[in-house]
Every structure is written in C-alpha cells, then in structure tokens.
Structure 1
Amino acid sequence: MKKLLLIFVITLCCKINLQAQTPVAATATLKGLVVDSVSKKPQDYITAVLKKENIGIKTALTEPNGTFTMSKVAVGKYDLVIVAMGFKAKTIPIDVKENIVYDLGKLIISAQDNNLNEVNITAAKPVIKQEIDRISYDMQADPESKVSTVLDMMRKIPLLSVDADDKIQLKGSGNYKILINGKPSSLVARNPSDVFKSMPAANIEKIEVITTPPAKYDSEGLAGIINIITKKNIDAGYNGSINLRESFPTGGPGGSGSITVKQGKFGISAYGGLSIYKSPLTPTGYIRTTTGAVPTSLLQNGENKYDGKFSYGSAELSYEIDTLNLITGEFSLNRSKDNNFGEQNSSLMQGGIPAQGYRLINSGDQLWKGIDLSVNYQLGFHSHKDRLLTFSYKMSNSTENSFSNQDIQNRLNYDPTTFPNFNQYNQGKSMEQTIQADYVHPLTKKLNLEGGLKAILRDNSSDFEFNNQNSAGQYIVDPLRSNNYDNHQNVYGLYNSYQYNLTNWGFKAGVRAELTTINADFVSQATNLDKDFINIIPTVSVNRKFKDMSSLNFGYTQRIERPGIWQLNPFVDRSNPNFESTGNPDLKPVLSNSFEMNYSRFKKGSINLGLSYAFANNTVQNVSVYNEATKITRSYFVNTGKDKKLGANININYPFTSTLNLTLGGNMNYVWLQGIVNGVEVKNDGLRGYVYGYLSYKLEKGWRFGGNFSYNSAWISLQGKSRSNFYTGFSGSKDLIKDKLTLSGSVNNPFNKLRTWENTTTGDNFTQRSYGQNYWRRFSTSLSWKFGKLTDGVKKNQRGISNDDVKGGGGGKG
C-alpha cells in the first residue's frame, strides 16, 4: 500500500507540474433568464447544470431576478439542464464555438405533475430527500463517502447518531430495525456497529430513515427502520469498482469491490469485501460501592485488546422472461472471527480491610457465519404498468460460536474450590424462512391500493456449556450452569394500505394484523413456555405541499418490539466473576405509540424541522441488582415501567457558493423513565441527543476537502447514565483520473489520542461505574477505481421480503 501511494503521489506531482506549464485557453460565458410559464415571473434559486456527454461540468443558481451566469466555458457542444423542485426539467443544446458571451435569453419552465411521494430538499443532486414517511441520505452525493466507513457517515445523517461506544441510535433510541436493500440480513443481525465500521461508504447508494413505516412493513422497531441500499449500477454492459483502504492505529487494511453485468434479459450485480480491525491494549475498569449491613468497595482495573476479521459477499440476479414476467434472486454470505484478550486486577474492601482479591486473565474468541437466499417472482399487467403481483421466498441461516476462558491468579480469600478457573462455550443457531405475497393496484390516477400476506417461521437455539476446572487441571461440565434452549417463533401477518394524492395533499394510511406464536423449550431443564398474541397496527402519514417549495408532514403509527434471541436466552455470562449478565425467556412484546410532524423547505439550501412524541408501557429494560450474600451484581432484561419521550430535530443544508457547502443538524429528546427494580420503584429523566456539522469545499482539478464534528450528550437509562463525547474529523480527496481513479485520506479526532468512556449505574444498595479508554485518533487512506461502461437497465422486483419485526442486534442502548 505504501509503495502504491508513493507512486500516485509522484504521478500527481508530475501532473500538477505539467498542468502549471500549460497555458490556459480563452473561454466563453453563458447567461440566461429563467421564467415561470404561468406567472411569467423570474424564478430565483433555480439550478442550471451544464453537461457534456451526460456528465455535469458546471453548476449555477439563479439570482433573485432570475438570471444566472456561467464563466470559463470551453469551446464544445453541451446540454444546459434547468432543474427545480415542482418544475419539469428543461434541456437546451448549446454549441460554444467562440470565446464570447452567449446570451440565451428567457428560458421558460413549466410546472410538473404533482407527485407527493417524494420532495427534494437540496440542490441539483440532493444529499437529503424528505419523503412522505421517511428521510433518505444520498451517499454518492457526499464526497466524504469515498474515504469514510458507513458508521462514520451515519454521524451525519438526520435522526441518526453514533455514540462513543459506536452504538447506533435512531431519534435517540436503540429500538429499531436495520434492513439491507429492504430486506433483513444476517450481515447485521449480531452487531451492526462492527459491520458498518468495516464497510466502506463508497459501496452504499443511500440510507433511508423510515420514521413512520407503512403497513407493508412488519410492525417491529419502536423508533423506526434504517434501510441500507447498496450501490447497484443498473445499466446494461458492465461496470465495476475496486476500493483499497488502510486505517491506523485502530482498524487495519481492507478492500471491497462491486460489479454489474447486463446482457440481454439476464443481469447480475455483486459486491463484497474483506477487512481486518485491530484495537491495541487500552485501560478499563470497574468501581462499585455498596451499603447495607456489610458495606463494601470493589476496585477493578486492567487492559483489553481486540482483533477481528470480517468478510462479506452478495450477488443479485435478474431474468426478464418478458415485459410482464420477472424473476430475481439474491444470495449472500458473511463471516466474522473475533479474538479478545484482557487482564484485570480485582480488590474487594470491607470495612477498609482487604476482604478478597485476584488477578483475572480473560481470553476468548467468536466465530459468526451467516447465509441468506431469496427468490422473487413479479407479474405485471397489460391494463396498467404499475399494477403488480409479487411472490417471494427467503431463507436466512446463521450460527455463532463463542468461547471464553477465565484464569484466576494471585488469589486472596478467593478459594479455588468454591471459585475455580472456568471457561464458557455457547453455540447459537438461527434459522428463518419467509413466504410472502404482495399486490399493488392503482385504482385511479390519484388512489393506489396495496395489500399482502406473510408468514415468518423462526427456529432459534442455544447450546450453552459451563466448565469448572478441578484440582487435576481438567475442565468438567457444570450441569447446573449449562443449558440447551430452543425458541420457535412464527409470525403471520396481513396488511392493507392506501395512498391518495391531490394537487397539494398526499395521504398514506393502512393497517396491519399480526398473529405471533412462541414455543420455548429448555431442553436441559425439561420445561416449556408457550405464548400466542394478536396485534392490530395502524399507520397514517399526511403531506401538505406549499407554493414556496416547502412541505409539512404528519405521521402516526404503533410499533412493536419483540425481544430478540439474545434477550430471551438464559445463558449467563460470568466472564467477570463479580458481574453477571443474562437473558429472560419470559419477556413479552412492547407496544409503542409514536406521533411526529416535520417541516421541510427548499430555497437556496434546505431546512428540515421535526417534532415527535412517543410513549410505551411495560417496556423491556436491562436492570442491575446487587446480591449482598454473593457480592455479585447481576444484570438481566425485564418488562417493567413506562417510557415517554418528547423530541425535536433539525437539519440545515446551505450552499454559500457552488463549491462551499455547510450542513448543521441535531436531535434532542427529553425522556421520562420509570420501572420496578427488585421490588423498588425507580425513576429517571433527562435530556439526551446529539448535534453535528459538516463543511465541504470543492476545488478545481478534482480536489475536495471537508471537516465535521458531532456531540453526543450523556445517555439516560433507567438506573443511570453514560458520559458525553465530542467527535471531529477531516478528509480530502483527489481525482487522479476523472470519475475513474480517486485517492482519499482522512483523520478522525486529531486532537485526542484516547477517549475516556464511563457508564454509571445506581441501585437500591449500590453504585457502580464502568470506565475505560479507547483509541480516538485514527488515520485512513483509500484508493478507488471505477471501470466499465453501461448502457441499458437491469430490471428489478419492485416488491420483496423485508422482515423488520425483531429488534436489531446490538443497535443501541435504549
């Protein structure tokens, strides 16, 4: 990599030197006046794009008097495209033959047919779009995506935030669902943060934040849905890209690639990647003080490090039988292997006297494998091109093997007979099959009907083994701490929704009915748990469009949080002898009501403002209880209490010039939490949220620079809170070969080598604090190459399977 970068730097210097010696040719100037065809009035802040061979060369915005000017236009043939929200695009061929001023006169633009499904809120190629029930962020329109990871880019997306522990939150909540191309994926089932910090943003087309999911989506995800849409070149011929990158001192080397091929009726789009992520030794620890009959103080400090390898690949195939019949399929694989090592000194004081102590050496590894397979058949109708019937099948299978070994040394009053060395092994499996049928029928030009049926069949299992070391050094299975667990969950749903569009109004409403059956079997303990429940979920979205290029959206929906396998699993993690954590197979689903209102306005730049309110009862909380007899803090999940949240969000995008752009935004929520912990009522409330900003500057000859910051407030939980953090980053890129080869670099948090994190938890008779540091400063470089040429479209199913009914793994804290 170093040699390769050196070659390109030398090449770049030579190129700049040659360009400096080349005389600048004289150029022409274009000017014109943009006028509305109805009012005959000049139009301000209209975008004019000068294109050559369908590639944008220059961009200009009209002044308040409707005029625009483009200078330094070389001799040649161009297309001038006038684009604006609410107007039809207008294309004017231009042949520049002389180095003079070309006055194009009045350019008349007319209003387009109103379609309220989507409202653009930025300029010619918008970064952000406000739609009737979601916000989308165009990764390819943001130059920083060339060098950043998906996780880094999520810090800039409205309604999303990433805290210092790399946990993703939607509107300040961790209760959401992540989809890949509108479908669930084993790729992000376990820990999406680890996946996205290894995945280059250059492979992503856009990210949708669906805050009011329509009835066609499963009802899971209290805060909404994050839909990651991968980059697909949907033209015939072939096209592809290769990306190489390196990050240090955390992270490591990685590479990714994509290719699209279209020949006749057959098309294939594939992408994949491989990365290594390393985190050197960093300090960590716990402090716990207890009251009661025998007050104690516990101090633990040590170091941890982490190494991981991650690989993924996916291929999507399409075969167009004829103009009305289409078959598509998708196949994906992903694999990750993690190794971790930690050492820790523990000292328990009682009455100011050392009561217990030891040194713990902890090592372990995890191996995760996932496979997804889906097939879709789409039938069109001669009567209407938008009338569709789709049948879909999807299979997802994943396995996770985790092992940890605890070697306890330097014991003080820590009897090896009572507290022996031990290891833990857990094998988790998940198998999911989905059958689905969807029907779309435009009843009139203004009214559209959707309906469908769906069945999801899930089989989850966990085989957990706890082994104690005996006096001979052998590890023997402890049957009281080992268990086999099977969980079978089936969800049967049907939905019906309508969308009605008027001149300035858009309405979208529907209802979804779901029957859920659960059968849990604790094999080792010969016990069963059976549950059935029915939910009726309404959803409503309304859009009002105004003449000043603004719109107002209102949404209401109910959402369900069904506990995931890691929350239900009774496996007890005892990797730290003084702290235990476990799941709860008796957890019940949670129903939440959510209201939101958003205002968007496009003029010179854009602004998006939002208000939201949500409440839920019997919510799932992770609570901690201290046992005075065993001196152990035990954390577990339980249905308890109520959550209420009042929030506000803002996003502003303002282009100072055609080359300098500023983005500011944030989301703040005031939360009220209450619940019962160990028989005691607990309440907590406070402000949590984030703010962010991004400034980008584009120079001539392919240079781009950017800087960003974000601030995350303390995270408020039922029993405590975390520490706030501040994030900064700077990036730059250079097109070595225009639209083909790009060299990029970035630095994150250049002013802070390490970041200190802290979480505080308070219970009835204890207070504990976990703390540590991780590497905060990181340097990254990447080299991207695009190749090939495409000419025709690959046809894709417009409907498919999207299971979003189970809480996303590792998504956040809330």
Structure 2
Amino acid sequence: MKIRKLLQKLLLSALGILCTCTTNFAKTSFKTYIISGFVSDSTTQKKLDFITVNLLSEKGIPVKADYTKSDGSFSFSALQPLKYSVVLVGVGYKKKTVLVDLTDSTKLNSDLGILFLTPQTVGLKEVTVTAMKQIVKQEVDRISYDLQADPESKVYSVLDMMRKVPLLSLDADNNILMKGNSDFKILINGKPSSMVERNYKEILRTMPASSIERIEVITTPPAKYDAEGLAGIINIITNKKLDNGYNGSVNVSERFPSGGPGFGGSFSAKIGKLGMSALGGASIYKSPQIINSTSRNTFGDENTFLQQNGTAESKNKSAYLGYEISYELDSLNLLSGQFNINGSKLNGENGQRSLLTDTETVLQKYSLENLTRTRGSGMDAALNYQKGFKADKNRLLTLSYRYFAYTNNQNSDIVITESINYDQPDYKQINDQKFSEQTFQADYVHPLKQLNIEAGFKAILRNNESDFSNLFENNETGFYEVQPGLSNKFRNDQNVFGAYNTYQYNFKKWSFKAGGRVEQTVINANFISNESKLSTHYFNIIPSLSINRKLAGSSDLNLGYTQRIQRPGIYQLNPFVDKSNPNFEKTGNPNLKPALVNDFQLGYNWSKKLSLNVGLGFTFFKNLIFPVAVYDSTTNITRTSYGNTGQARLPQGNLSINYPITKKWNFSLNTRFAYGMVRGIVNGILIKNEGLMYNLSASSGYRFEKSWRINANLNANGRGVNLQGSTNSFVSYSFSINKDFYQDKLSFSASVSNPFQKYRRNVNDSFGPDFTQSNIRRDYFRAFNFSVNYKFGRLKDSIKKNKRGIRNDDVQSGS
C-alpha cells in the first residue's frame, strides 16, 4: 500500500514537471507574432476596403496575401520572428511599401496604425490602356465587338451602338439588319429573354451601352442553337465580372426633339455561394408630328391616281427588368434561374386626306383621323440545374425549363369626314394577340483532350392566339356593331422537337466545329369562330461547319457554312385585316411555310496595332417569306399579305478596321456591301428586282488631358432592295463629347446628330404588275442627347453560372 502511494506521488511530480517544462518551452519557442493595421485614403481619410495586402519576406518572397475588410483593417498572425515588407496595392492608388521588423522578441504585436494610400495621379493612362483594347475579335463561329473598349458606349444606347458592330446596321426606321436581313434572333447572355423578343427596339434604345460588355454576331451558329434566324444570332453580353461584394451602374439620359428621358442600370452581387444580377430601365419616347404622303398610279382598263397626305405623332412609354440568380450547392452542382418582365404603352394620332381620281373625274375623297392605343407586356422565367463530374469538371450535364409569354393589344378608332363617293362609316379595330411557350431542354458536354463533344434534346410547345374584330358604327343607333366577316378568333399551335450533336476539335493552328441538328415541327391552326382548321408538319436536317486556321503575324482565317430556317411568327400568321388606311389593307397568312437559307462565310482577321477584319459571303434563300402587295381594281384597294413566294441570292462582303493613330487618337471603320437579286410570283406574274446595297459607319475619337474625349461619326446607308420595291439611301453624322470624373466612375456625355439638317426624307418605292407606288415620310433628323453614367461597387471572386441553358432562337423577331 505504501509502495502504491509512493508511486502515485512520483507520477504526479513527473507530470507537474512535464507541464511546467512544456509551458515554459511554449512561452519561449512558440511566441505568436502579429502584424496589423488600417488603410485609408490620404485625401478623404475614408477607410478603404478590398485593398490587396501582400506580406513579403526580407528577400521579397511572398509569404501571405489578404485584403482589407469593410472597416479598412487587415491582420497577419502566426508569423515567424523575421523582417517583412507589407505591400499595399489598390486600383486608382499608388503602391505603398512598409518595412516591419519582428526580430525583437519583446514586441509580439506590430500595430502599423493607419496607412494612407495616395490616389493615382496618372489614372488617365489607365483609361488609355483600356481604350486601346482590341475592339473587334474574330472567333471560330462569331465576331464580337467590345463595347467597354469603345468610349462612346457611355454616350449612346445599345441600339445606337449596333451601327458600329461588324455585319450589323440600322435602317431608316432604326430596325436592326444583320447582313442586310431583318430575320435574326437576339439573345442576352446566350439565352432568350422576353425583354427583346416582343419588340427589341423599345428595350435596346432604353438600355445604356455602358451596361453591356460586348455584342457577339454569331455568323455560323453551331448545331446546339435552334435553326431559326436566317441571318444568324445577335448575343448581347452584359457586364458579368462578378465578385464577392457588389457592383453596378446607373445611367440617366435625355434625347430631343425625337426621343425623351431614359433611365437604365445594372446591379450584381455575390455573397458566398449565392450570386445575383439585375438589369433594368425605363424610357419615354416621343415622336413629334411628322408629315407623310403616299402616291399610287394604277394601270389597266382604267388608270387611276391616288394621293394621300397626312401627319403622324406618337408617345411610347416602356420599361423592363431582368433578374438572374445562381447558387452553388457544392463544387459540382449548380442551380440558377432567371426572371424577366417588360411592358409598353403607346398612344398615336394620325391624320390623313385622300383623293382618288381617274384621268378626268374624282372617284373618291375623304379625310380620316385615327387614334391608336397599343398595350404590350411580356415575361419569362427559367430554371437550370447543372451537374459536373469529379473525373472532369468540364464535363457537364444541364437540365433546363423555361416559360415565356407576351400579349400585344391594339385598339384603333377611325373617324371619316368630308367624304365624296365614300360611304364607309366610322369604325373601330381591335387586335389582341397572345403568345406563350414552354421549353424543356437537356444538354451534355463531354471534353476529350483536344476534342469537345456536345449533344442535347429540346422540346418547344408554342401557342399563338389572336382575337380580332372590326366594328362599324350604325348611323341609326350610334352604336358600333361587330362585322362577322372581319372578325375571328385564331389559334396556332406550333410544337418543335429537336436534337443536336456537335464536335469541336482544336489542333495546333487549326480549329474545327461541325455538327448537325434535326427538327420535327408540328403545326395546328384553328379558326375558332368559323370552325375551320389547318394542320401540317415538316422535318428538317440542319448541318453546320466552322473552320479556323491561325496564320502567322496574329492573324487567322475562318470558313463557315450553315443552313437556317425562317419560321413565321404571329405577326405574319395573324389573319387580322388592318383597315386603318381604307385604300391599303394589311393582313397575315396562316398558310405560311418555313423558308430555308444556305449561308457560306469566309473571313480573315489580323490584329496587332491595326485590327482588321475582312469577310466574304454568299447566301441563297428558298421559299423566302416576303410581303406581297396586290392591287384590286374593283375596290381600288392594295392588299399586302405574306407569302412563300421569294427566292434570293446575296453575294456580300464586309470590312472592319480599328486603328489607334496615336495614343490619344483612334479611327474605326465598319462597312458592308452586297448585291441583292430577288424574284418571286406576285398575282401570277414573275417579279424580279436587284441592286447594290451598302452600309458604312466611320468613327474617330481624340482624348484630351483630364479625361476629356471627343468623337465624330459618319454613317451612310445605301438603298434597300426587296421583292417589290426599294428604299432610298441616306447619310447621317454625329459629334459627341464626354468627361470622366471620380476615378472614371462618373461620366458626363453629350452628343448632337445631324446639326445642320432638321429633317430627313425617307422614300419607299414599290411596284406590282399593275401599279407603282411611292411612300414619302419626313422625319426629324437633328437630335440632341445628354447622358450621365455612374459605376459603383467592388468585387472579388467570380460568380459561377450555368454554362448551358435554354436558347430558343427559332422564331422570327417581332417588328
């Protein structure tokens, strides 16, 4: 017993000695050394967050790195007793280095206090470097235009900037033309959006170009894209360099006399695994009173002459909001979604005096007043799930669902006065259109070293509806009565089922992208009021091929071929008869079939100090959907509808140049030329038309000291050619000035367009087997624009987003 107690005492004594020795050893050998401090602006004394703090050893070897917190603080712990350098780096500030000596064992905590950073006085040079980035870039199947590298993005809207993008132009009505064609698809961040599917002009002229990163013109869309869009795809990429924290931009603008106030902005944020971004804006667009006239000569048994003179004005209010969100479940699983809404209200007023005569007498005369109210709205929502694989994180499986719908309601009140030989009563027109679409999609990406394989399936369930009616005033009762022959309910169901397979192979200086897409389309049309139906279906195999060859001297060569489809949309299918002008009726054609196009493209890109892009192409259209105008001598009415009556050949070329003449002076040129040859059957007679078409946009800018910049632009549009007519050419020019403040976060811009010409004369000439016609419109040409843009926020780590998602590019953009 005594022995056991003795052993216990010895063991406790040993443990006590061991603990004492361990404690003393820790106190002497494992001391905790800390370096801490705060960072502030030397001018404003404001604490600075997200300033990079680098800790270097005495020999300049990196030891640790961190960034300052929201209160400007930073701290490095568990350091060895050595000599260090603390290096502070922040955008817009001079680099600062502080030496710290931790070899003094009595000083464990080295508090550096407040370290002041001096604002960078040569920030202008940073702006110069950014502006000299390559603006135009050629990829294997597309051309991209970097808006952030173009200073005029701070001045104009996205719609205005389209003039400067290769292969794009704007016609006299500011409609976008891609390779001279109005049939294309617009995507935002590679996905369809209701913001631009219902009426893109309303949104793009509201959207500030400063909120956009780049615009991609996909000239040879690969098989993963739906086959619709004869000319190709325009992909608008918003600013998506998102980090932990937030950033955004706000733009306020005013344009007059044609135009109005506008507001737009973007916001992005990331908190851990959750990321989100929003894009929104609103505008009021006023079109002051303009003068228009129409003259028509007809030939046959009785020659007639129609002269109409009128005025028109309108006011349009529009707004849009787009929201995207993503959440990383883990490193291999990602959920994302999007939600977009938009709306518009347009009120228009048109006046017209009409006189129809033959060689000797007055056949018809009247005056007309038309009040039009149009209301439209759209929305879409999508959900995506992306799964990666541990063996290869670039191998992806994506499942997506999207719902999209819009409405467009138009009401017109027409009043007839001063009539001679014209007994049409006052009447109303109602045209309510609805569109809805559901999309289910699965995509799979499988990389194999230099080969990338993509495959996918898609089902689009689409519904077009129209409820239209004409109501004539009863002169006896004063009430408006529905006209059965001019009223109906129309429904068109269009279901598209597709599958694709694409292969991309990169080998040294060669890149190949080839694929095929199959699509089965089923259409059922129903005229509900008169119980008539129409059913049809068709099957298409769509090939695509793109080849890129890198050449010496920072240049490359591209060759592309694809086949595309033009499916008619509700605007062309709707059998509603627009009688707002009694002598000219417009209607859709529910019997339309899809049109096909074969497109060949050859491009050369060279980029050093001079950036040069040259392209040649040939496009052949078959069963092209053209508006067809036919004159009826018994009613003296020209009716325009749509038909699969056209064939066209279009050889074309394009040239894009960007050249920094000096460090402060740059020049850019974007031009396209084509020779259009179209033919088709109109009222049983073969019609041919052809002509040279061109677009040119030249821009030059000079940067002065203190962040001032001026720009001059020249735009020339040649005549347009279609099956039954042509439009006149015109030249426009503009000057802009902008100034950056507050480390380039705040900018003020102003511009004037065509200062020496108040109006522009737009002429649209058309013809048929038995008539010629000329429409002349005098629009406001001179315009002034003011804009203020502000960028805010700081970010760190990029937001992870789905690399695949729904892209419905198979229906013609609305007009």
- TM bucket (normalised to shorter chain) is 0.7 to 0.9
Are the equivalent residues in 2 in contact too, given 1:612–1:648 (CA < 8 A)?
yes
CA distance in 2, matches of 1:452, 1:762: 46
> After superposition, what is the alpha-carbon deviation per residue over 1:112-162, rounded to whole angstroms, capped at 9, x for unaligned?
xxxxxxxxxx98622111100000111111110111011110011100000
CA distance in 1, matches of 2:629, 2:729: 22
% of aligned pairs identical? 51
Are the equivalent residues in 2 in contact too, given 1:134–1:212 (CA < 8 A)?
yes
1:147 corresponds to 2:152: no
CA distance in 2, matches of 1:459, 1:56: 53
Deviation at 1:612, TM superposition (A): 0.2
Tell me what 1:713 maps to.
718
CA distance in 1, matches of 2:323, 2:199: 22
1:358 corresponds to 2:366: yes
SS at match of 1:385: coil
Deviation at 1:749, TM superposition (A): 1.7
Deviation at 1:199, TM superposition (A): 2.0
Moved over 3 A (4+): 52-57, 74-77
Amino acid at match of 2:453: L
Deviation at 1:652, TM superposition (A): 0.8
Tell me what 1:390 maps to.
398
Are the equivalent residues in 1 in contact too, given 2:626–2:642 (CA < 8 A)?
yes
> After superposition, what is the alpha-carbon deviation per residue over 1:775-801, rounded to whole angstroms, capped at 9, x for unaligned?
111111111122221112111111110
CA distance in 2, matches of 1:567, 1:510: 31
Which residue of 620, 624, 627 corresponds with 1:622?
627
CA distance in 2, matches of 1:611, 1:782: 37
669 and 307 in structure 1: CA distance in 2 versus 1, 3 angstrom threshold: same
Unpaired segments ≥5 residues, structure 2: 1-87, 98-117, 119-129
1:778 corresponds to 2:763: no
1:524 corresponds to 2:532: no
Tell me what 1:83 maps to.
none
CA distance in 1, matches of 2:757, 2:92: 39
1:654 corresponds to 2:662: no
Write the mapping of 1:595-606 to structure 2, written as runs, cut at 5 A. Answer: 595-606=600-611
> After superposition, what is the alpha-carbon deviation per residue over 1:732-788, rounded to whole angstroms, capped at 9, x for unaligned?
111121222111111112121111101011111111111111111111111112222
CA distance in 2, matches of 1:187, 1:269: 15
1:463 corresponds to 2:467: yes
Write the mapping of 1:391-540 to structure 2, written as runs, cut at 5 A. Answer: 391-415=399-423, 419-444=424-449, 446-471=450-475, 472-540=477-545
1:208 corresponds to 2:216: yes
CA distance in 2, matches of 1:294, 1:194: 44
Amino acid at match of 1:438: D
Deviation at 1:460, TM superposition (A): 1.1
What CA RMSD, in Å, does the superposition of the two structures yield over aligned residues?
A: 1.8
Amino acid at match of 1:303: T
Deviation at 1:407, TM superposition (A): 0.4
1:314 corresponds to 2:318: no
Which residue of 608, 615, 621 corresponds with 2:613?
608
CA distance in 2, matches of 1:463, 1:670: 41
Deviation at 1:257, TM superposition (A): 2.0
Which residue of 368, 375, 393 corresponds with 1:367?
375
1:561 corresponds to 2:566: yes
Which residue of 801, 806, 811 corresponds with 2:811?
806
Amino acid at match of 1:771: I
Deviation at 1:660, TM superposition (A): 0.8
Unpaired segments ≥5 residues, structure 1: 1-51, 58-73, 78-96, 98-121
SS at match of 2:395: strand
CA distance in 2, matches of 1:600, 1:530: 47
Tell me what 1:196 maps to.
204
125 and 302 in structure 1: CA distance in 2 versus 1, 3 angstrom threshold: same
Deviation at 1:54, TM superposition (A): 6.7
SS at match of 1:619: strand
Tell me what 2:227 maps to.
219
Write the mapping of 1:22-41 to structure 2, written as runs, cut at 5 A. Answer: none
Write the mapping of 1:178-193 to structure 2, written as runs, cut at 5 A. Answer: 178-193=186-201
Deviation at 1:177, TM superposition (A): 1.2
Write the mapping of 1:638-649 to structure 2, written as runs, cut at 5 A. Answer: 638-649=643-654
CA distance in 2, matches of 1:261, 1:606: 35
Give TM-score scaled by structure 1 length.
0.84
Amino acid at match of 1:402: Q
Amino acid at match of 2:504: Q
Are the equivalent residues in 2 in contact too, given 1:247–1:253 (CA < 8 A)?
yes
322 and 541 in structure 1: CA distance in 2 versus 1, 3 angstrom threshold: same
Are the equivalent residues in 2 in contact too, given 1:571–1:582 (CA < 8 A)?
yes
Amino acid at match of 1:295: N
Corresponding pairs, count: 698
Q: Which has the higher contact order (CA 8 A, sep 6+)?
A: 1
> After superposition, what is the alpha-carbon deviation per residue over 1:713-747, rounded to whole angstroms, capped at 9, x for unaligned?
11101111011111211111111212221111111
Are the equivalent residues in 2 in contact too, given 1:702–1:738 (CA < 8 A)?
no
Are the equivalent residues in 1 in contact too, given 2:206–2:263 (CA < 8 A)?
no
Amino acid at match of 1:760: D
Deviation at 1:194, TM superposition (A): 3.0
Amino acid at match of 1:459: N
Deviation at 1:539, TM superposition (A): 0.3
Are the equivalent residues in 1 in contact too, given 2:206–2:264 (CA < 8 A)?
no
> After superposition, what is the alpha-carbon deviation per residue over 1:551-608, rounded to whole angstroms, capped at 9, x for unaligned?
0000001101111111011011110000001110111101111111000111221111
361 and 123 in structure 1: CA distance in 2 versus 1, 3 angstrom threshold: closer
Give TM-score scaled by structure 2 length.
0.84
Deviation at 1:708, TM superposition (A): 0.8
Tell me what 1:572 maps to.
577
Are the equivalent residues in 2 in contact too, given 1:366–1:401 (CA < 8 A)?
yes
Are the equivalent residues in 1 in contact too, given 2:132–2:660 (CA < 8 A)?
no
CA distance in 2, matches of 1:236, 1:138: 24
SS at match of 2:635: coil
SS at match of 2:394: strand
Which residue of 249, 256, 264 corresponds with 1:241?
249
1:129 corresponds to 2:137: yes
Deviation at 1:689, TM superposition (A): 2.0
Tell me what 1:273 maps to.
281
CA distance in 1, matches of 2:249, 2:741: 15
Deviation at 1:235, TM superposition (A): 1.1
Amino acid at match of 2:743: K
SS at match of 1:125: coil
CA distance in 1, matches of 2:446, 2:532: 48
CA distance in 2, matches of 1:657, 1:400: 51
Tell me what 2:548 maps to.
543
Tell me what 2:304 maps to.
296
Tell me what 1:763 maps to.
768
Indicate the structure (1 or 2) with the bigger Cα radius of gyration: 2
